[in-house]
Amino acid sequence: MAGALIVVDDLTVSYGGGAPVLIDVDLTIESGDLVGVVGPSGSGKSTLLKAMLGTVDAVSGSVRRVPGLAVGLVPQVETIDWNFPVTVAECVGMARARGLRMPWITRAERAEIAEVLDRLGMAGLGNRHIRELSGGQQQRVFLARALFTNAQVIFLDEPTSGLDVRTRHDVLHLLDELNADGLTIVLTTHDLNGIAAHLPTVVCLNRSVIGAGRPDEVLVPEVLERTYGSPMEVLEHGGMRVVVDAPIDATVTPLRRSGGRGASA
Amino acid sequence: MTWDELIRPFEFEFFRNGIYVATIAGALCGLVGCYVVLRNMSYIGHGLSHSIFGGYAVAGLIGVNLFLGAGIWGVITALAVGGIVRRRPIGSDAAIGVVTTASFALGLALVQLYGSPGRNADALLFGNVLGVTTSDVWLIVGVALATAAIVFFFYRPLLFTTFDTQVAAATGIRTSWIDALLMIVLSATVLATMNVMGVTLIAATLVVPAVVARMLTDSFAKMLALSAVIGAVSGFVGMNASYHLDVASGPTIVLTSACFFIIAFLAGGRLRRLTGNVGHAH
């Protein structure tokens, strides 16, 4: 396990004795990795994150983590109760909850929170309610909370879901920068082209690992077809892989203007 | 009503005891109620109070200490609800409905068959200022101090687990312990306030101050403080109203906090600016 922070070894997971959600998964997360896990809905992406975090039990196989490894999790924004009464500073500050601590955020912690928020481009927003932020800022609050735990590895569950194209790339670019500073990052996403552009390592998952490696090795028609169960087209554009984000055999209804003429292809 | 008439009941020890208990109980319920409301557990507050009535009757019948027996019964009930939800495909609201109402029904049946242990059943169901003794004052003071200490020392894990259980567990917080701790605090709170509020109205004392506070602030820390103050003022005013109107203390305390709700609802925007929140209530 030298150099590896997390080793997933032949892991099978099921919930309540039902059909396996993950089958014989092998994966190693090294220090400094930036890994994107992709796959269709129900492919076990979130379960794989939970297994690596230690919050689900294995039916067989194992997940080994370096002893004392500090981890942080950025949840799906859809799971957040945006009506919950917390300000940005309170949300970030709650992360340091282990051990005996003062209930209030200390002056030193306040300075640290301000530094983390500043680093993520959110300076001066500490007293805002979390709902009063834009989609990208909401994602960054939870990233700030994970960073405030001094995590060595941060897991993000679909950090780009529900974001517009520009914000999606901003978030991935930010993760790229944090990774360049030495943070190990594992994320799940449906944004194939986003990870092709920003992430050095991709894992294609559909209950089992179908492919893992650099985007140009993994984002190929054969692997994508086995992952998504349908042929998908991959194009080269400006030296980058671009996955046509729809199965080839999908029925496409051309857009029509109100005058009845079809939109140009 | 003259000032003399207003302060006359303070000459009586039973009334002073009642005021102490109602005010402290209001603050205690306001504090604990924030967690109950934010966890969408309002129904378990209601159910637990009913369940504890069953425990109270059983404890009286088998001759063990009433408060200890009822408290243990309450904790067992809360854990039983959690156990049923985990092991069977039943929603928590349905499990609460089954377990706690069965317990309440058992309490009612035992009280009818063998009489109410300690004090009369009406006082237990609706609260009674006359039923408050010095030992009740010490009980509520003890529970309030213990709860304040727990909220102080476990503030962050309680907040993290309430807001985001999954992430709290992932980052190493023992969320099942925190949940169990909250259930014990809730059971103790219900038990200690039962004499003044009555079983049937405790849930409102837990929920209304927290809801009013939520309408006035977007900060969790401020919500805790506001809710405790609103609960305490409701307890104090409601207990006075109980004496002067000759109505049971539970209803007058709940109606006082309901007045706070109406004020917050009608003048929420202005009040939020006073508490430092300029946004709208969500």
Is residue A244 a contact partner of residue A194, using CB atoms and an 8 Å limit? no
Distance in angstroms (rounded) separating the CA atoms of residues A161 and A75: 11
Please report which confidence band the pLDDT of residue B57 belongs to, taking 50, 70 and 90 as the band edges. confident
Please determine, for the modelled complex, whether the ipTM score is greater than 0.95. Answer: no
Predicted pLDDT of residue A185: 95
Q: Which residue of A has its CA nearest to B282?
A: A83
| Cα dihedral: B208, B146, B167, B91 (round 10) | -50
Nearest chain B residue to A128, by CA:
B218
What is the average pLDDT value for chain B, to the nearest integer? 85
pLDDT at B63: 81
Tell me how far apart the alpha carbons of residues A50 and A192 are, in angstroms, rounded to a whole number.
21
CATH class of A4-85+136-230: alpha beta
DSSP of B229-280 = HHHHHHHHHHHHHHHHHT--HHHHHHHHHHHHHHHHHHSHHHHHHHTT--S-
* Cβ <8 Å between A96 and B156: yes
Say if B34 falls within a structural domain: yes
Residue B275: pLDDT band by 50, 70, 90 thresholds?
low
Whole domain around residue B52: which residue ranges?
10-274
The candidate with the shortest Cα–Cα distance to B29, out of B243, B260, B208, B221, is: B208
**Any chain A CB within 8 A of the CB of B149?**
no
**pLDDT computed for residue B120 by the predictor:** 64
pTM of the model: 0.82
Kindly report which listed range (A209-213, A237-241, B257-261) carries the lowest average pLDDT score.
Answer: A237-241
Q: Which residue has the higher pLDDT, B163 or A160?
A: B163
Residues from chain A that touch B223, judged by Cβ atoms under 8 A, are 85
Examine residue B1 and state whether it is found in any structural domain, yes or no.
Answer: no
pLDDT at A249 > cutoff 50: yes
Q: Determine whether the interchain pair A55/B169 forms a contact, defined as Cβ–Cβ distance below 8 Å.
A: yes
Which A residues in the span 107-136 are in contact with B, Cβ-Cβ below 8 Å?
129, 131-132
d(CA A210, CA A222): 10
Higher-confidence residue of B69 and B33: namely B33
- Chain A: residue nearest B157 by CA? A97
Please determine, for residue A116, whether its predicted confidence score (pLDDT) is greater than 80: yes
Distance spanning both ends of chain A, measured CA to CA? 52
Taking residues B51-67, report their average pLDDT: 83
Per-residue pLDDT, averaged over A103-112, amounts to 86
Which phi and psi angles does A74 have, rounded to 5°? Answer: -105, 110
The string of pLDDT tens digits covering residues B129-153 is 677 788 888 989 999 999 999 999 9
Inter-residue contact B71 to B190 (CB < 8 Å): no
Cβ of A103 and B151 within 8 Å? yes
Q: How far apart are CA A131 and CA B264, in angstroms?
A: 21
Residue B248: pLDDT band by 50, 70, 90 thresholds? confident
The predicted structure's pLDDT at residue A86: 92
Asked if residue B22 lies in contact with residue B205, where contact means CB atoms within 8 angstroms, the answer is: no
Q: What are phi and psi of A13, to 5 degrees?
A: -130, 140
- Band (pLDDT 50/70/90 cuts) for residue B277 is low
Q: Give how far B222 is from chain A: nearest CA, Å.
A: 9
Does residue B281 have a pLDDT over 60? no
- Name the residue facing B219 among A75, A79, A85 (closest C-beta): A85
Q: What is the average pLDDT value for chain A, to the nearest integer?
A: 84
Higher pLDDT pick, B91 / B218: B218
Structural domain spans, chain A: 4-85+136-230
Instruction: Report whether pLDDT(A251) > 60.
Output: no
- Chain-chain contact of A55 with B220 (C-beta, under 8 angstroms): no
Selecting from A73, A83, A101 the residue whose C-beta is nearest the C-beta of B167 gives A73
- Write the pLDDT tens digit of every residue in A12-24: 999 877 889 999 9
Q: Please, which residues have CB within 8 angstroms of residue B109's CB and are 6 or more apart in sequence?
A: none
Give the pLDDT confidence score for residue A258 in this predicted structure.
45
Q: Determine the pLDDT at residue A235.
A: 78
Domain count, chain B: 1
pLDDT at position A60 is: 92
Euclidean distance between CA atoms B96 and B41, whole angstroms: 10
* Chain B residues touching A103 at Cβ < 8 A: 151-153, 155-156, 221
Report how far apart, in Å, the C-alpha atoms of A102 and of each of A83, A94, A99, B116 are: 25, 11, 10, 44
Q: Is A103–B155 a contact, with Cβ atoms under 8 angstroms apart?
A: yes
**Chain A residues within an 8 Å CB radius of B170:** 50, 53-55, 71, 73, 155
Q: What is the CATH number of the domain that holds B149?
A: 1.10.3470.10
User: Per mean pLDDT, which range of A66-80, A213-227, B110-124 is the poorest?
Assistant: B110-124
Whether chain B has a CB inside 8 Å of the CB on A71: the answer is: yes
- CB–CB contact A79 B166 (8 Å): yes
In a domain, B282, yes or no: no
- Residues of chain B positioned with their CB less than 8 A from the CB of A155: 170
CB contact under 8 A, A53 and B219: no
With bands split at pLDDT 50, 70 and 90, how would you rate the model's confidence at B33?
A: very high
Spatial distance between the Cα atoms of A101 and A103, rounded to a whole number of angstroms: 6
Q: Do B171 and A95 touch (CB under 8 A)?
A: yes
pLDDT at A244: 75
Residue B160 near residue A97 (C-beta atoms within 8 A): yes
pLDDT band at B259 (very low <50, low <70, confident <90, very high): very high
At residue A22, the pLDDT reads 94
The answer to whether A69 contacts chain B (CB < 8 Å) is no
Instruction: Considering only residues A68 and B225, tell me which one the structure prediction assigns the higher pLDDT.
Output: B225
Q: In the predicted model, is pLDDT for residue B22 greater than 80? A: yes
Helices (H), chain B: 3-7, 13-38, 42-62, 66-87, 92-114, 121-126, 134-153, 155-163, 165-170, 175-197, 202-216, 220-245, 249-266, 268-274
**In this structure, is residue B2 part of a structural domain?**
no
| H/E stretch holding A193 | helix A192-198
pLDDT at residue B274, rounded to an integer: 67
**Contacts of residue A82 in chain B, CB cutoff 8 Å?**
282
Chain B residues in contact with A132 by the CB 8 A cut-off are: 279
Instruction: Give A54's contacts in chain B (Cβ within 8 Å).
Output: 170
- Residues of chain B positioned with their CB less than 8 A from the CB of A129: 218, 277, 279, 282
Cβ(A213)–Cβ(A202) below 8 Å? yes
Note which residues in 29-68 of chain A have CB less than 8 A from chain B. Answer: 50, 53-55
The predicted model gives A10-37 an average pLDDT of 91
Q: What is the pLDDT of residue A259?
A: 43
Mutate to test the interface with A, among B37, B41, B147, B156 (most CBs of A within 10 A): B156
Burial class of residue B44, CB neighbours in 10 A (0-12, 13-18, 19+): buried
User: Tokens representing A24?
Assistant: 């014989």
Tens of pLDDT, residue by residue over B177-217, are 898 888 889 888 888 887 777 777 888 889 999 999 999 99
A160 by Cβ neighbours in 10 Å (0-12 / 13-18 / 19+) ranks as: buried
* Helical (H) or strand (E) element with A9: strand A4-14
Domain assignment present for B228:
yes
Residues of chain A with C-beta less than 8 angstroms from the C-beta of B222: 85
Do A37 and A48 contact (CB within 8 A), yes or no? yes
At residue B121 the predicted structure's pLDDT band, cuts being 50, 70 and 90, is low
